[in-house]
Structure 1
Amino acid sequence: MAIDFDDLRLMLDIVACGSFSQAAARRRWSQPQVSQRIGALEQQVGAQLFRRHRRGAMPTEACLAFAPSARDALAALDAGKLAVRGTPALPTVTLACLPSLASTVFGALLPALVSSRLEIRCTTDHSPIIMDMLLTDRAQLGFVLNCPAVAGIRLERLCLSPIVAVVRRGHPLAHARAVADVANAQLAPQYWGPECDTLISRLRAHRTVDQPIHTIQPSSAALELALEHGFLTFMPEMAAARLLRTGQLQQLALSDLPRWEWELMVAWRSGKRPDVAKETVLQQVRALAKDWTATPVSGTGDAQMKQS
């Protein structure tokens, strides 16, 4: 008995939603109808595809192994439909990125790939969700900060980006030399992690004005506060690199600012099947990473880690 393509789409919807009921709601079906269709699909493939729990449904190892072939089959079907209409089908690469990195990564990557024969889909989410998207083939590449290893995911360091203090050109504090010198300024650090709280504590120790210190995300918002409203911000150098190069922003030489860093990683699902489109994007990402920091990581060598 032939497998229904719609059942494959239903299976992938449940993987994406993590729930039979949510997949049913998307289609305006009843939950028993969804369960029946999945049960029939499990009989056809000869394996259990989901394990139900109180909060939804989790794909089994068999489902995760079957999902790439299901996506390939659906992609081939869509490509055939486009070919019939005379529209050439292009390979698609889905990229997932932390919101704080999105403007830096996507803003540089898409122009660099404008002449490539592929289509990019960009989305943002938190690191655990991005890792799950990679494992379930909802994304081919993910951009995260250094995070714990996940089985089946490869992580490669792209760059180390120091945290720097920046102001717009001509700011009265552009030549400050110590953290104490900027403590009374309008401050809005980009929140990059617990070390940002440490920095704020140091600033408050020297602060004599009764004004708040704001923290903000993403980097694009911190940049706007600096450029348009005269705030002094602390942020990863890579997020401000383009505006520092054009001279719209100036970096302060604060001699007592600790060497705090962002460690930008690119992640993808390990496997032996070649993916030319993904490799094209990955090579461009590695090339761009050299411009994202003053201390780029050369080569992949020790920086490339296979997680198992």
Structure 2
Amino acid sequence: MSLLISDLELLCDVAERGSFSQAAAARGWSQPQVSQRIAQLEASLGTQLFQRHRRGAVATAACLGYLDSVKRALAELDNGRRLIQGAPALPEARVGCPPSLASLVFAPLLAALAEAPLELFCHTDHSPELMERVLSGRLKLAFVLNRPTINGIQLEVLADSPILALAAADHPLAQVGPLCLADLADARVSPQWWGPDVEDLIRLLRQHRRAPLPLHTNQPATTACDLARKHGFIVFMPRIAALDELDRGELVALPISDLPDWRWEIMMAYRVGKRPDSTRELLLASAREIGAVWRSRLSAH
């Protein structure tokens, strides 16, 4: 049985995208071409690799197990190619986080590993999809938000941040004492979308709102900070996402007595393998250091 490297690369791409048509579009192929190549690979291996359905393709258990070996083989072939070309054959590591965490995670992680003997590839996606990628081995490490335990994945909490109401230091309500939600219901308010609890916040605000003003949600955290600093909005967002603005005094936390105790729990997710993995351990050590810095800064406020 002979296998083409291009077929193995196609297998990884379909598994990554969860779609024959998307893998085809990325290559400028037709969808039937991809279907035919995957069918031939399945015939060669004697097993089904994907469950087909109208919305895409889901890798079978056999495919997920095979992918680990395929990725290692492709990585070794790529290392050999780079050695021949004179480029350093550094191990690669793929990490991911939700878009709302990207500015918090990727810059300090890349800075911490700037001289490390590995190359990072950073991806963004929603937490459930990131967990699935970790489980299938497509990501070495993922930073996720408020996720339940899943068999096969180790979760560690790096930081637990409260949700706050923030405003510019010169905002009229920043000079007032204890407040309640009713006091700011008619102000320009825009919650950052930190999770499903935002919908509960909007319902609470609408109970007190007298003026027919819209309640816009925003994303990411940089947008929330700009709305507060430059446009006079009160924003609801995780404290950890505005630590720099709070440290510089550009934003202040409003003391809202009846704001529920909503939290943003930042976790790292990874697979624990039986074989030693120095790249994974290096990533975990750096992530734990970043988490320690977050916790220290959060406790200082």
Q: TM-score, normalised by structure 2?
A: 0.86
Change (3 A) 1:201 1:8: closer
C-alpha spacing 1:244/1:49, structure 2 compared with 1 (3 Å):
same
Contact (CA 8 Å) 1:290, 1:296: kept in 2 or not? Answer: no
- CA distance in 2: counterparts of 1:165 and 1:29, whole angstroms: 50
Q: Are the equivalent residues in 1 in contact too, given 2:239–2:298 (CA < 8 A)? A: no
* C-alpha distance in structure 1 between counterparts of 2:150 and 2:94, whole Å: 19
The one-letter amino acid of 1:178's match is: L
Number of the residue aligned with 2:270: 268
Structure 1 residues 165, 86: CA separation in 2 closer, same or farther (over 3 Å shift)?
Answer: same
> Aligned residues: percent identity?
50
Aligned partner of residue 173 in structure 1, secondary structure = helix
State how far apart, in whole Å, the 2-side matches of 1:296 and 1:167 are: 18
- Once the two structures are TM-superposed, the CA of residue 269 in structure 1 deviates from its matched residue by 2.9
SS of 1:256's equivalent in the other structure is coil
Offset, 1:35: 4.8
1:71 Cα deviation (Å)? 0.9
Q: Which 5+ residue runs of structure 1 have no aligned equivalent?
A: 298-308
Q: 1:74 to 1:173 in 2, by over 3 A?
A: same
Matched-pair contact (CA < 8 Å) for 1:243–1:249? yes
| 1:174-253 alignment, distance < 5 Å | 174-176=174-176, 177-179=178-180, 180-253=182-255
Aligned partners of 1:188 and 1:214 also within 8 Å: yes
Aligned to 1:116: 116
* Structure with greater helix share of residues: 2
Q: CA deviation at 1:57?
A: 3.0
Equivalent residue, structure 1, for 2:12: 12
Structure 2: stretches of 5+ with no match in the other structure: none
Distance 2:19 2:196 in 1: 34
Q: Output the amino acid matched with 1:245.
A: D
Give SS of 1:271's match. coil
- Which one-letter code corresponds to 1:286 in the other structure? R
Q: Which amino acid aligns with 2:268?
A: V
Does the aligned pair in 1 maintain the 2:191–2:237 contact within 8 Å? yes
Using structure 1 for the length normalisation, give the TM-score: 0.84
d(CA) in 1 for partners of 2:175, 2:288: 34
C-alpha distance in structure 1 between counterparts of 2:34 and 2:95, whole Å: 29
Partner of 1:303: none
* Match 1:278 to one of 277, 280, 299: 280
Q: Secondary structure at the match of 2:166?
A: strand
